[in-house]
Amino acid sequence: DAGVTQTPRHEVAEKGQTIILKCEPVSGHNDLFWYRQTKIQGLELLSYFRSKSLMEDGGAFKDRFKAEMLNSSFSTLKIQPTEPKDSAVYLCASRGQGAADYTFGSGTRLLVI
Amino acid sequence: GQQVQQSPASLVLQEGENAELQCNFSTSLNSMQWFYQRPGGSLVSLFYNPSGTKHSGRLTSTTVIKERRSSLHISSSQTTDSGTYLCALVNNAGAKLTFGGGTRLTVRP
């Protein structure tokens, strides 16, 4: 089975740039999540979609972060404009029917300079 | 305040020793899930544990809802157990995960 695919694996951006991270969930999974992981804050929820509908939009991240899910097999996370404090690992996960059926991608490591 | 707190933040063991990782939560719980993350790697689910005790090889998870805690026991640790262990509270809709800060485990040969 294909897992969750995230691209790119690494991204370096200059402050003020726009970057787009991509995620392909596990086929058939209805829930999709974007998380940000840093050493200080740990894992923080950015966005949560159910059947392509936005269910939760992490309040602190609304300003410059926008996640979209135009079809059931593809999601993007846009950060505009980027700031150095956005440097982190961005993880995408999808969930199937089972309560424990979460699959995480390998993440995109973003460095903003 | 934080809904999910893990302890210890880090732990160093000699191979063969046992480990007990703790997770405490401050809100009502639907369920608890434990994940493992290797440095630079993705999260892998270890246990989905609404309550009681579950076993998987050398791992044991125990969740006591009324005490608002969950634990992960690793017996006879191996160097390959090194990594970060994360607990996550599953909300009532059974979807969103709220993570603890993690325990970074290092097992030395």
* pLDDT tens per residue, range A68-107: 998 999 999 999 999 999 999 999 999 988 777 899 999 9
Contacts of B102 in chain A (CB under 8 A): 42
Give the model's confidence band at B102: pLDDT under 50 very low, under 70 low, under 90 confident, else very high. Answer: very high
Give the model's confidence band at B93: pLDDT under 50 very low, under 70 low, under 90 confident, else very high. Answer: low
Tell me whether residues A42 and B102 touch, CB distance under 8 A.
yes
Q: A12's torsion region: left (phi>0), alpha (psi -120 to 50) or beta? A: beta
Q: Mean pLDDT for chain A?
A: 92
Nearest CB to B42 within list A33, A95, A107: A107
Q: In this predicted structure, which of A7-16, A23-32, B40-49 has the lowest mean pLDDT?
A: B40-49
Write the burial class of residue A113 (CB in 10 Å: 0-12 exposed, 13-18 middle, 19+ buried): exposed
CA-closest candidate to residue B79, choices B23, B19, B15, B20: B15
The reported pLDDT for the residue numbered B108 is: 97
Tell me whether residues A45 and B41 touch, CB distance under 8 A.
no
Instruction: Specify which residues B88 forms β-bridges with.
Output: B33, B99
pLDDT in tens, B42-92: 899 999 988 899 999 999 999 998 888 999 999 999 999 999 999 998 876
pLDDT in tens, B20-31: 999 998 877 678
Residue A29 has pLDDT above 60, yes or no: yes
CA-closest candidate to residue B30, choices A96, A100, A33, A94: A100
The reported pLDDT for the residue numbered B1 is: 53
Whole-angstrom Cα distance, residue B77 to residue B93? 35
Residue type, A19: I
**DSSP designation for B56:** E
Show the tokens assigned to B40.
Answer: 């630079």
Contacts of A48 in chain B (CB under 8 A): 95-96
The reported pLDDT for the residue numbered A56 is: 84
Tell me whether residues A99 and B100 touch, CB distance under 8 A.
no
Residue A35 has pLDDT above 80, yes or no: yes
